[in-house]
Amino acid sequence: MFDIVINSGKVFTGGDKAPEIQNIGIIKDKIEFCGPEKIKGVKEIDAKGFLVTPGFIDLHTHSDLSFLVDPEADSKITQGVTFELMGNCGMSFCAPLTPETKLQLKDRMDRQGLNIIPDWDGFDGYLNTIEKNNPSINVAAQIGHGTLRTAVMGMNSRYPTPDDTNKMKYLLETAINDGVLGFSTGLWYAPGSYSHTEEIIDLANISAQNNLLYSSHIRSESDDACGLFPAHSEAIEIARRSGSRVQISHVKSVGPKFWGRGNELISGIIKAREEGLDVAGDQYPYFWSSTPISGCMFPRWSLEGGREKTLARLKDLDLRNKIKNETTSYINRFHGAEGCVLADYAVDSSLEGLNLLQISKKFKSTPEEAVMKLYEKSEGSLILHSMEEKDIYDIAQYKYMAIASDGNSLRSTGPLSSGKPHPRSYGTNSRFLEHIVNRKKIVTLEDAIFRMTKLPAERIGLKKRGQILKGFFADLNIFKLEEIKENGTFKNPHQYSEGMKYVIVNGKISVIDGKKIAGRNGRVVRSFDG
């Protein structure tokens, strides 16, 4: 007798196998049967007319604080996401903690009105704390190069000394022993932008030796720093020289010089794979992106040394004008001031949802000066009209492009419901199924399921998740494609997706009729077998 039986569903295993009408038997947290024979269970679900898929895996998230703040954090599970990989873009801001990174974490929490006092320094204590909170879904961590570099070198723009390198390697190896499953870089963001390729390869060699995924927000996505195509080439070169599985994060082409050229990025990945390099990418299905104010509006040199030094530079008239000139280029890259919308600004929430043109009118200033005035009061985040529709669809067609949100697990009530964040935290997977698969038919359903399940599991290295096979963990979704609907919008993002009849996490029913039910069934995953 099985604990749960799912009868007569159209089962997508997650792999290349065509879907079949099958029955699934679950005992405790594992799938113990999948086949056409009739079986009995304590709880039986009639899935006739429904699709049954593995739970979706989001391998690019920034939920590092989410499950400490509110372990329900149900914006992802309601769209069928049962596993998240945190610590992307070089930012694992909750660990490792040193005096420098503790200050950055405190600043982040102060802006969000949070009062969490860390009683840990490394990943073991951090992950233990999440585990004690019992998250609603499965979570795993990456160590971020930006946090690692800050812990050892502060926000200084210089080469690491041999001693610096050894300290970073030690912290990386300690994190690996503590159970991180990836190493990420944010080479556009300070201080990652101060590093050279050799520094990253040194560290990627260690992560590769331990079979960790290397995820990279590359050095440029437009016509800044080294430029978009050289930045892609750098990621591929790191794969070539370190042997890493390289995941190019949120693949996109930004700005008028690169709009319409998304297909060229895919060509580069295809050539790398033909060479035998393990390179792939991920994407969220929106034309708008989101990032901190400083990350998208200020030149890298102006951020050297941290926030206080940046504020000092803004007080110098000559430096302020130099920063302003570069800020103009950034604004133009995002379809102008109207394409830059303030998403999160805790010190004055009345400005959230307004674009820079509207804010500049309130401030009686230029959009560039408005950006500076915002930052002088507090860091915040912007939503940016950075991409074009054609590129989204061209990139979406590539088989080895996983679907990943670049968002957080949030909630429509409580402390995780603040601001007007990018709706991708509530709707990435739903939007892909609803718009890209069902309406526009750019991607087949089978391919979409593969890219939300087996592909991201393989990228991370998970051995028992991402497929419906005997012995695998019972993370499952039951739904009808035509009922999947994204409800979150840019004006009102805190709205759950709908359409999931059931979501099962580790063998426990967690969502019924689109609503999360009582109980949290996720785990902290620290091994590829977990």
Q: What angle do CA 87, 400, 90 make, to 5 degrees?
A: 20
The values of phi and psi at residue 34, to 5°, are -150, 110
> Looking at this protein, which amino acid is placed at residue 115?
N
Stretches where the chain sits below pLDDT 70 are: none
Residue type, 494: H
**pLDDT attached to residue 111:** 87
Provide the pLDDT for residue 488.
97
Q: Is the peptide bond before 135 cis (omega within 30 degrees of 0)?
A: no
Question: The tokens 């082409």 sit on which residue?
Answer: 253
- Backbone φ, ψ for residue 207 (5° rounding): -65, -35
pLDDT at 80: 98
Which contiguous run of DSSP H or E holds residue 144?
strand 142-144
Q: Cα–Cα distance between 485 and 423 in angstroms, integer?
A: 13
